[in-house]
Amino acid sequence: MSLTKAPQLKVLVNGAGIAGSTFAYWLTRTGLNASITVLERSPFPRPTGQSIEIRGPAISIVEKMGLLPSVLARNTTEEGTRLINAQSKIVAEFGKGGFTSEYEILRSDLCGLFLDASKGMKNVNYVYGDYVTAVQQTDQTVDVTFNSGARDSFDLIVGADGSASRTRTLILDEQTRKGSYNFIGQYIAYFSIPRIESDTKHWYWYNAPKGRGLMMRPHRNGKTIGCYVVVTTPAHDHYDALAEAALESGPEKQKELLRIYFCDAGWQAERILAGMDECDDFYMSRSAYVKLPTWTNNRAVLIGDAAHATFGVGTSLAVEGAYFLAGELGKIKHSNDIPAALKRYEATYRKVQGDGADLPPGFPQFAFPQTALAIKVRDALAWVFCKTKAHKLLPGDKPDDSKLPPYEWVAV
Ligand SMILES: Cc1cc2nc3c(=O)[nH]c(=O)nc-3n(C[C@H](O)[C@H](O)[C@H](O)COP(=O)(O)OP(=O)(O)OC[C@H]3O[C@@H](n4cnc5c(N)ncnc54)[C@H](O)[C@@H]3O)c2cc1C
């Protein structure tokens, strides 16, 4: 189907991450005659990042994209999770089907698959190295000013620019955004280091006092492994002044800070810090959850972390939101129907998402304790958790299309 009255439907998507590239793919599959610009602030594509996973409905959506075999072929080969104590002993072990899903994949691989699938599609154009600085909406258009100084008008603007979304600030008023960005008291650095012979195919999770965590997860290539260096403060909204300053100052200052914080952390800290100095994919960010009373405003809408950042399932929710938004837009007959379609997306997808974006109780402070005693208590509970196989109750890692509406898609 093509829009007869608005054949030149112009769409601007901010952010070429998981949500933005998935949305560009599915909007093209609606058959609307849309020209889609995906604008990425970074001057180059950012298909980087460590292990992420897709679960339930997101697996079914990726299957409909024809990408499931490619996802499985890029499985990180992780066999389970091992919690390690200060003596390098395993205190709890979880097999596949809990924290390790059947669909573990590096963010770099998944984002690369979505970018490749969408960038070859008709009327999808990726633009790098610019971002939106002002948005003005009228009944008919969204007028946008870019950092480069350029101006343009669109029928629809989509914010897919991550948890610290600038689009959110530009499209929703202060009252609506109040309390929406919630720092959870955690900073995480992600990077890859060389694998050594004694590394196994497990996710290793080690804690040192003062909320410090070191984690290692396997890569499929057999040459590198993924590392996570985690700094957790005692409470949500409790910022670490030095980490904040380092985030403002760039990767070299961030690495310098982590070297100071982790020099006496124990376990494999020395090896991880040495690898960090040599890596070429270092990325550090604050962890936050985002909760908003609304994701839409007239012809503007948020998807993915920009709308509902959370922990653990953010990638699945980003894929799902992108699919639902495209599906609801696919029903419009005219550009004037866009605001109603955005409202339908929000109503339909909020129902499906339910409380799926809520953080587990006590997270992350309980999982990354401040004292040696609290680490022991956490270890004891983790042991009970693994013996009772309670981790098997985590959200399903099987395809599930029972909650996906019967949208109509055109073949590619
Ligand atoms: C480089 C990178 C590495 C990551 N690594 C991991 C990881 O190892 N493990 C993990 O669990 N999660 C990681 N994440 C986060 C994870 O991808 C998301 O939490 C989740 O997949 C939801 O995806 P999203 O598309 O909403 O956000 P993201 O995947 O974060 O994508 C947002 C995109 O928007 C771009 N952007 C930001 N601001 C603007 C702007 N103003 N205008 C235009 N574009 C903008 C960003 O550069 C990014 O490409 C990473 C994110 C990034 C950007």
In short, whether 17's Cβ falls inside 6 Å of ligand 1 is: yes
| Cα–ligand 1 centroid distance for 214 (angstroms) | 22
> What string of DSSP letters covers 255-295?
HHHHHHHHTT--TTHHHHHHHHHH-S--EEEEEEEE--S-S
For atom 51 of ligand 1, the residue with the nearest CA is 49
For atom 11 of ligand 1, the residue with the nearest CA is 52
Pocket test for ligand 1, best of 25, 37, 48, 161 (most atoms within 8 A of CB): 161
In short, whether 161's Cβ falls inside 6 Å of ligand 1 is: yes
Is 232 inside a domain boundary?
yes
Is 210 inside a domain boundary?
yes
Integer angstrom CA distances of residue 255 from 176, 218, 282 = 36, 22, 9
| Cα–ligand 1 centroid distance for 111 (angstroms) | 9
Residues 113 and 233 in one domain: no
Euclidean distance between CA atoms 158 and 10, whole angstroms? 11
In short, whether 107's Cβ falls inside 6 Å of ligand 1 is: yes
Euclidean distance between CA atoms 36 and 19, whole angstroms? 14
Residues 115 and 195 in one domain: no
Report the CATH number at residue 259: 3.30.9.30
Omega within 30 of 0 (cis) for the link into 364 = yes
Which residue bears the tokens 């309670």? Answer: 390
* 314-329 vs 18-29: helix crossing angle, rounded to 10: 30
Predicted pLDDT at 395: 61
* Ligand 1 atom showing the smallest separation from residue 21 Cα: 25
Predicted pLDDT at 7: 42
For atom 21 of ligand 1, the residue with the nearest CA is 315
Q: Which residues are within 8 A (CB) of 315 and not within 5 positions of it... i.e. 6 or more apart?
A: 18, 52, 53, 54, 58, 107, 110
CB atoms within 10 A of CB 336: 14
Is 302 inside a domain boundary?
yes
Euclidean distance between CA atoms 150 and 144, whole angstroms? 8
pLDDT in tens, the chain (412 residues): 444 443 469 999 999 999 999 999 999 999 899 999 999 999 998 878 899 999 999 999 999 999 999 999 999 999 999 999 989 999 999 888 778 989 999 999 999 999 999 998 989 999 999 999 999 999 999 999 999 999 999 999 999 999 999 999 999 999 999 999 999 999 999 999 999 999 999 999 999 999 999 999 999 999 999 999 999 999 999 999 999 999 999 999 999 999 999 999 999 999 999 999 999 999 999 999 999 999 999 999 999 999 999 988 999 999 999 999 999 999 999 999 999 999 999 999 999 999 888 888 889 999 999 999 999 999 999 888 777 766 555 666 789 999 999 999 999 8
Predicted pLDDT at 393: 58
User: Does an H or E element contain 325, and which?
Assistant: helix 314-329
Q: Which residues are within 8 A (CB) of 148 and not within 5 positions of it... i.e. 6 or more apart?
A: 130
Look at residues 306, 327, 353 and tell me which one is the last residue of a structural domain: 353
Look at residues 353, 370, 392 and tell me which one is the last residue of a structural domain: 353
| Whether pTM exceeds 0.85 | yes
Euclidean distance between CA atoms 115 and 94, whole angstroms? 33
| Cα–ligand 1 centroid distance for 22 (angstroms) | 13
Is 243 inside a domain boundary?
yes
Residues 30 and 58 in one domain: yes
Tokens standing for residue 129:
């190295």
Predicted pLDDT at 48: 81
Partnered with residue 213 across adjacent β-strands are 207, 230
Look at residues 323, 353, 383 and tell me which one is the last residue of a structural domain: 353
Residues 36 and 135 in one domain: yes
| Cα–ligand 1 centroid distance for 161 (angstroms) | 7
Euclidean distance between CA atoms 110 and 1, whole angstroms? 29
| Cα–ligand 1 centroid distance for 14 (angstroms) | 11
| Cα–ligand 1 centroid distance for 312 (angstroms) | 14
Q: Do residues 147 and 133 touch, judged by C-beta distance below 8 A?
A: yes
User: What DSSP designation does 211 have?
Assistant: T
| Cα–ligand 1 centroid distance for 18 (angstroms) | 7
pLDDT tens-place string over residues 80-135: 999 999 899 999 998 887 789 899 999 999 999 999 999 989 899 999 999 999 99
In short, whether 101's Cβ falls inside 6 Å of ligand 1 is: no
- The phi, psi pair for 79, rounded to 5°, reads -100, -15
Residues 201 and 261 in one domain: yes
Look up the domain containing 132 and give its range: 9-73+105-180+290-353
Euclidean distance between CA atoms 86 and 266, whole angstroms? 7
Euclidean distance between CA atoms 222 and 51, whole angstroms? 15
Predicted pLDDT at 1: 42
Residues 93 and 149 in one domain: no
In short, whether 305's Cβ falls inside 6 Å of ligand 1 is: yes
In short, whether 47's Cβ falls inside 6 Å of ligand 1 is: no
User: Does an H or E element contain 105, and which?
Assistant: strand 104-106
Euclidean distance between CA atoms 218 and 224, whole angstroms? 7
Euclidean distance between CA atoms 357 and 347, whole angstroms? 15
Integer angstrom CA distances of residue 152 from 91, 126, 157, 400 = 57, 16, 11, 40
Is 410 inside a domain boundary?
no
In short, whether 52's Cβ falls inside 6 Å of ligand 1 is: yes
For atom 10 of ligand 1, the residue with the nearest CA is 52
The per-residue b/e assignment along 221-238, b for 16 or more CB within 10 angstroms, e otherwise, is eeebbbbbbbbbbeebee
User: Does an H or E element contain 118, and which?
Assistant: helix 107-119
Residues 264 and 346 in one domain: no
User: Does an H or E element contain 128, and which?
Assistant: strand 124-128
| Cα–ligand 1 centroid distance for 166 (angstroms) | 13
Q: How many residues does the chain have?
A: 412
Pocket test for ligand 1, best of 23, 40, 313 (most atoms within 8 A of CB): 40
Predicted pLDDT at 96: 84
* Ligand 1 atom showing the smallest separation from residue 165 Cα: 38
Number of structural domains found in the chain: 2
Partnered with residue 187 across adjacent β-strands are 231, 286
Is 119 inside a domain boundary?
yes
Is 386 inside a domain boundary?
no
